């Protein structure tokens, strides 16, 4: 009976070693790139950032996200290359 257990244990150990050798090495997953283009003075954009986007920091999802915030929009370039925002 002891010989049977020994062979069984040896079989399990060999199987685990073979399975470990066949599995690919652990590779850290790449982060998901997320760029949010938003209008700086827009109350709807501000509300989205505060009420929804902030959740990724609270839930820990930010660890998997490469977040880039880009203030953008509602700007106009004039004839002399001057930029006016929120016209």
Per-residue pLDDT of the chain (87 residues; tens, 9 = 90+): 455 555 555 554 445 445 555 556 656 678 889 899 888 778 899 999 999 988 888 888 888 889 999 887 777 788 888 877 765
Strand spans (E) along 1-87: 32-38, 65-71, 75-77, 83-85
What's the predicted TM-score (pTM) here?
0.52
Which residues is 59 bridged to in the sheet? none
- CA 73 – CA 80 distance, rounded (Å): 19
Which residues is 85 bridged to in the sheet? 75
- CA 5 – CA 29 distance, rounded (Å): 40
């Amino acid at each position: 009976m002891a010989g049977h257990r020994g062979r069984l244990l040896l079989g399990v150990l060999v199987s685990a070693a073979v399975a470990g050798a066949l599995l690919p090495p652990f590779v850290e997953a790449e982060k998901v790139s997320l760029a949010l283009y938003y209008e700086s003075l827009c109350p709807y954009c501000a509300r989205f950032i505060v009420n929804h986007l902030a959740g990724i920091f609270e839930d820990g999802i930010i660890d998997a996200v490469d977040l880039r915030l880009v203030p953008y929009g509602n700007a106009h370039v004039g004839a002399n290359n001057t930029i006016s925002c929120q016209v």
